[in-house]
Structure 1
Amino acid sequence: MKTSRTLTASKKWRGSVIALYSALILLTIPFLFPAWWMVSSSFKPLSQIMEYPPTLLPRDPTLDAYVAVFEQPFLLQYWNSLYIAVLVTLGTLAVSAMAGYAFARIRFPGVNALFLVVLLGLMLPAEVTIIPLFQLFTALDLNNTHWPLIIMPIFGASSVMGTFVMRQFFLGIPQELEDAGSMDGLNRFGIFRRIALPLARPSLAAVAILSFLASWNAFLEPLVFLSSRDKFTLPLALTQYTDSVGLPIWNVQQAAATLTVRPVLLVFVFMQRYFVQGLAQTGVKG
């Protein structure tokens, strides 16, 4: 009797698992279909993309679209996006970690009020500040350079969000760990570097992914500050694949987009465990 009940319970559990995974697979289709269409269209001639009814697979796969991508300075633009995103990520990590630790562990007058002022930066859309920033960088003779694209995120919205994430993590560190560090002769910076920062790796990974994606996908700022094609980043590069009347060449744009998303996927695949763990540890503290 006990064995039959166990078998029945096991069958019910397997049935529930199968039903759950089936539902999850169905729910992923709307999210995976655009990516599938992008990759599939990159191997199609332009005429097949426009035909009706559409086809999920190319009938005559071709690499012509990928060849056309590199007729523009795509590799140079790829490098521009990559090194800018890396510098922005490193700068955001440095600023966010130090600011988050200061707000979480250093008591000074007006700390909470100042933190609220910093958070107000998240409420200002980029369109509000882009004109005064353009005038500022024009006065500094930095327009049509990559410096605005590096400086603005490090001291802008990316660092504000990163500071919030890091502060919430540092609030959860037991005070006893810092007291032990002080007894061992560490000063405040030593406690931050040797105790707090190594514990914050998951949160650092979350901030790194968010800042990398924000820089990699930025369109408005490069559109405003860059005018030379050799200085374009990838979001601007995708707009240059047009025909003689300015209409998109869809298969070439899909090929360029397919190449563009690869670093983003690699970053997320290799760091997703730390990303989820870092956001889970952030919680709601303080």
Structure 2
Amino acid sequence: MRSEQKKRPEQKRARERRPHRAPWHGTASKAVLYLLLAVLSIPFVYPTVWMILAAFKPAHEIFATPPTLFPEEWTLDGVSKIFTVTPFARQYLNSLYIAVIVTVVSIVVCALAGYAFARIRFPFRDGLFLVLVSALMVPGEVTIIPIFRWVSQLGWMDTHWPLIILPIFGPQCVVGVFIFRQFFLSLPAELEEAARLDGLGRLGIFARIAFPLAGPAIAAVAIMKFLNSFNMYFEPLIFLRSEEQFTVGLGLTQFQDGYGEPMYSTQIGATALTVIPILIVFLFAQRQFVEGLARTGMKG
């Protein structure tokens, strides 16, 4: 007891002798860190800012050497033609509603498949999952011919059905299944045991416990599916024929003048509009997106 009493004053004096950090020390460190991050972000932010401002430039300024960021001569000629030269508004809505449907349905399908591979034991489970993952190694260009014949036989040419069905049930869905499987593997088994004691079945456990907890995985899959579907170009090029059915990717290639020359400022302005939905989705779900990807490799 006496030794402990002697140690206490010594520990108190040692704490008093420790140098106290000035209150400005933490603020200065944060300021330097933010400044460094701002400088490092320039190569990523500059192209987007240039693209937005280039929509208000005449054509000769877009190709000026050296390039300039702000227009010397502001003009609305290019921006005013975005919705008049082609049915770009209709094409924009086509891409939006296709991306929303693909994202919502893919989350449900991938979550169900990921939960089955993670929490349900059935014959050849691991072998089937290996076959499923191996589909990622097959390039889409290899399977496009049989898919084209299949779509043609179903009468889906020049419709949006192949752009909705293929991303949901095709090889593009495998990554989503993998992310959900890895997330559900990390859930403690005690949750399922407690749910079974309450009388819940497999579907009830998934709908009321597992799926509501999978927020990070849902955000990660949602961003990837929305981004891939909204920016789709190869599949619309194969399956669509009429301008009214075009998506944004094909619509951007149709801005041409009477001589067949590209309308660069109009194309750039339309391209800037296509970035807006992706930025909105990512800004609202970026934290869950990073967390979902981080938890993907926690348990295998």
Structure-2 residue corresponding to 1:68? 81
Q: Aligned equivalents of 2:272 and 2:117: distance in 1? A: 41
* Residues 1:46 and 2:38 are matched in the alignment: no
Identity of aligned residues (%): 52
Structure-1 residue corresponding to 2:186? 172
CA deviation profile, 1:155-212 (whole Å, cap 9, x unmatched): 1233211100000000011111111111111111111111111111221111111100
Q: Aligned equivalents of 1:178 and 1:92: distance in 2? A: 24
* Residues 1:97 and 2:85 are matched in the alignment: no
CA deviation profile, 1:236-285 (whole Å, cap 9, x unmatched): 11101123454322111110001111111111111112212222222241
Structure-2 residue corresponding to 1:190? 204
| Helix, strand or coil at the partner of 1:25 | helix
Q: Aligned equivalents of 1:64 and 1:26: distance in 2? A: 34
2:39 to 26, 35, 38: 26
Unaligned runs of 5+ in 1: none
* Residues 1:85 and 2:99 are matched in the alignment: yes
Matches within 5 A, 1:1-286: 5-7=19-21, 11=25, 16-71=29-84, 72-286=86-300
Q: Aligned equivalents of 1:272 and 1:3: distance in 2? A: 44
Asked if structure 1 preserves the Cα contact closer than 8 Å seen for 2:78 and 2:263, the reply is: no
Letter in 1 for 2:227: L
Letter in 1 for 2:80: V
Q: Aligned equivalents of 1:210 and 1:266: distance in 2? A: 13
TM (norm. structure 1) is: 0.94
Matched pairs, number? 285
Letter in 1 for 2:82: V
Q: C-alpha root-mean-square deviation of aligned residues, in Å?
A: 2.0
Asked if structure 2 preserves the Cα contact closer than 8 Å seen for 1:209 and 1:267, the reply is: yes
Q: Aligned equivalents of 1:128 and 1:10: distance in 2? A: 61
| Helix, strand or coil at the partner of 1:6 | coil
Letter in 1 for 2:99: A
Q: Aligned equivalents of 1:5 and 1:189: distance in 2? A: 59
Superposed displacement of residue 92, structure 1: 0.7
Unaligned runs of 5+ in 2: 1-15
Superposed displacement of residue 113, structure 1: 0.7
Superposed displacement of residue 15, structure 1: 5.2
CA deviation profile, 1:199-241 (whole Å, cap 9, x unmatched): 1122111111110001011110001110101100001111011
Superposed displacement of residue 9, structure 1: 9.7
Which of 91-100 and 15-24 deviates more? 15-24
Asked if structure 2 preserves the Cα contact closer than 8 Å seen for 1:121 and 1:156, the reply is: no
Letter in 1 for 2:162: P
| Helix, strand or coil at the partner of 1:62 | coil
TM (norm. structure 2) is: 0.89
